[in-house]
Structure 1
Amino acid sequence: MEFCDECGKMMKTDGDRWVCPNGHEKLRNEASEATMTTTQGQEQSSAVDMSDVDDAEIGPTTTVQCPNPDCDNDRARYEMKQIRSADESETRFFTCTECGQKWREDDH
């Protein structure tokens, strides 16, 4: 991927040149293009079969009450993600091990 030095837009190849949507051009450099990562050949993906995986192998669990009123389970798998700015605490995402209900908790 190449970006235009003049306007910053993404450029496309046109023969031996890079061309941006605004018409700016520059010559292609074979040496620098050899180090670029492409998505060519990565279009196909397949589903992962998790049917033979033990729940304990999927991720950590914790004791927490499921919010589903029809479920009285107190175990859930969890993961923590930083979805706000770095000076904010992480958000905890839970999935009930019994009914599959998903919910999240934020520190306020």
Structure 2
Amino acid sequence: MQFCDDCGSMMHSDGDVMVCSSCGAEDARDEERAAEFVSTAEQSDDDVIETEEGANFEGKPTADDVHCDECGHTEAWYTIKQTGSADEPPTRFFKCQECGHRWRDYN
């Protein structure tokens, strides 16, 4: 595995160069180490946790046993993701239905 010197993100092979997945920086491919690299299928979008400001939570399940620290509203949309190892409980990500504030609960 090779990491970008500029931003630290993982790089992938693109012909004779290694390309950063985040910033697009390129680095010469080290042919001696090329046999050590393993290509895998790209990550599908359903594994991505929607954390950006514009992420759409509407239509997700609703929790009515929560309390928004920003506005005090007691209903929020949520999604559940396994962010730790398999023997740890999943993480719930919430978005307040009133003000849009986001938070997480580790159970």
TM-score normalised per structure 1:
0.48
TM superposition score normalised by structure 2: 0.48
Higher alpha-carbon Rg: 1
